[in-house]
Amino acid sequence: MLPFQDALYYVLQNCRKLKPALTPVEKSRGLVLAQDVVALEAIPPFANTAMDGFAVRSQDVKTPPSTLRIIETIAAGHSPKMEVCEGEASRIMTGAPIPDGANAIVMVEQTEVDGDELTVNISVPVGNHIRPIGDDIPKGELVFEKGTLLTPGHLGVLSSLGLVEVVVLPRPRVGVISTGDELVADGSALKAGQIRDSNRCTLLALLEENDMSPVDLGLLPDNEDAIEKGLVEGAATCDALITSGGVSMGDFDYVKSVLQRIADMRWMQIDIKPAKPLAFGLIADTPIFGLPGNPVSSMVSFELFARPGLRAMMGRADPLRKRVVATAAENLGRRPDGKTHFVRAIVDYVDGKVFVKSGGGQGSHMLASMARSNSLAILPDGSGYSKGDSLEVLILD
């Protein structure tokens, strides 16, 4: 059996970064910058007030109460027309530019108004409640480096800088193919021996959840020609492919026979449970993950191999799921078999501590327990853990 880390390393090595592409800022969340971003504009672009109130000269309000004359009202988005001279003030709204002559803002709450007469009940220092030009980001500053993962906050900053497009590593288009004569995908009544196609829907949703671009390539019968056509067309139009089923040792596992012909494949038996078999390779330059058909195996295999590989293609510096150390809330037993077990598990966060319990039935056909779980508890070869033990857990949400 191949050690898990070796299998993962092989996958990561063969999942090359995608070509950078210019992308609209509003579509770039979850993607990695392929350029440095330098501020071509200052933020804020002009000195403005942080408060609704009055623009004054600090020296005019030294000994409260001070009486000033209101000369104009400045709304956000409008330019001041008057200079504030001795004994004068301009009413001003949050975000509006500071008028010439003024050097401080008094909050409206600290004033009284009678017609155009203003009483200021406080003294304020020079610069009070004024946000200077470039206070957040000066013009010319290196704001974000190449390699930065873009979050909603980053998109806000890019928009503030006036950028409408950025160069990022794009979302990989990942084609998903289900295979199997037993599968029904249209909701019709099951005939003898049939089951419903659940993997395709799950895998497409996993891709979506991971900020990738899922491409539904449908359900293919156990027919060599149909599978070859599906794989060749998929490889030509997608950045990566995921198949489920048909890669085991059965008589009708045609995905395996086709891939053996048209792809450069590695057939792995990995020292883990579930998801021991993994077929991974390249059709020309397109990575293909031949995941097992069993629904849980296909999900776990996606989490352990396909997701990291696809994230590497997206330039993610953190391709792997986070591992935390949790306390076993119950016994998590197992038998020695030379494999690491990834046990569907439920993690709870209580008073800042992490507790983990089993997510239920661990058969690789038992998808409901996978759906209820939010993590995979890592049980190295041996006899498992007792209640109260510390163990590593992969967090899936």
**Where does this chain bind Mg ion (CB under 5 A)?**
180, 245-246
Stretch that binds ligand AMP, among 138-146, 159-167, 287-295, 385-393 (CB under 6 A): 287-295
Q: Is 268 in the site for ligand AMP (CB under 6 A)?
A: no
Residue 67 identity: T
Residue 257 identity: S
What token pair was written down for 376?
């995979």
Q: What is the C-alpha to C-alpha distance for residues 213 and 286, in angstroms, rounded to an integer?
A: 15
- Tell me how far, at minimum, the Cβ of 393 lies from Mg ion, in Å: 31
Q: Is 276 in the site for ligand AMP (CB under 6 A)?
A: no
Instruction: State the binding partner of 110 from ligand AMP, Mg ion, none, CB within 5 to 8 A by kind.
Output: none
Instruction: State the binding partner of 183 from ligand AMP, Mg ion, none, CB within 5 to 8 A by kind.
Output: ligand AMP
Nearer to ligand AMP by Cβ, of 177 and 310: the residue is 177
- Tell me how far, at minimum, the Cβ of 180 lies from ligand AMP, in Å: 5
Q: What is the C-alpha to C-alpha distance for residues 94 and 100, in angstroms, rounded to an integer?
A: 17
Closest by CA position to 181, among listed 194, 168, 167, 198: 194
* Single residue of 80, 234, 287, 292 touching ligand AMP by CB under 6 A: 292
Counts for the chain of helices (H) and strands (E), in that order: 8, 29
- Tell me how far, at minimum, the Cβ of 368 lies from ligand AMP, in Å: 13
The residues, any chain, with a CB within 8 Å of residue 218's CB and separated by 6 or more, are 177, 178, 185, 200, 230
Q: Is 293 in the site for ligand AMP (CB under 6 A)?
A: yes
Nearer to ligand AMP by Cβ, of 200 and 276: the residue is 200
Q: Is 111 in the site for ligand AMP (CB under 6 A)?
A: no
- Tell me how far, at minimum, the Cβ of 238 lies from ligand AMP, in Å: 18
Contact (CB, 8 A) for 231 and 283: yes
Closest by CA position to 198, among listed 274, 294, 276, 292: 294
Chain center to CA of 54: 43
CB atoms within 10 A of CB 248: 15
What token pair was written down for 62?
């030294």
* Single residue of 20, 44, 287, 295 touching ligand AMP by CB under 6 A: 295
Instruction: State the binding partner of 295 from Mg ion, ligand AMP, none, CB within 5 to 8 A by kind.
Output: ligand AMP
Per CB under 6 A, residues contacting ligand AMP are 178, 180, 182-183, 195, 197-200, 244-246, 248, 250, 292-295
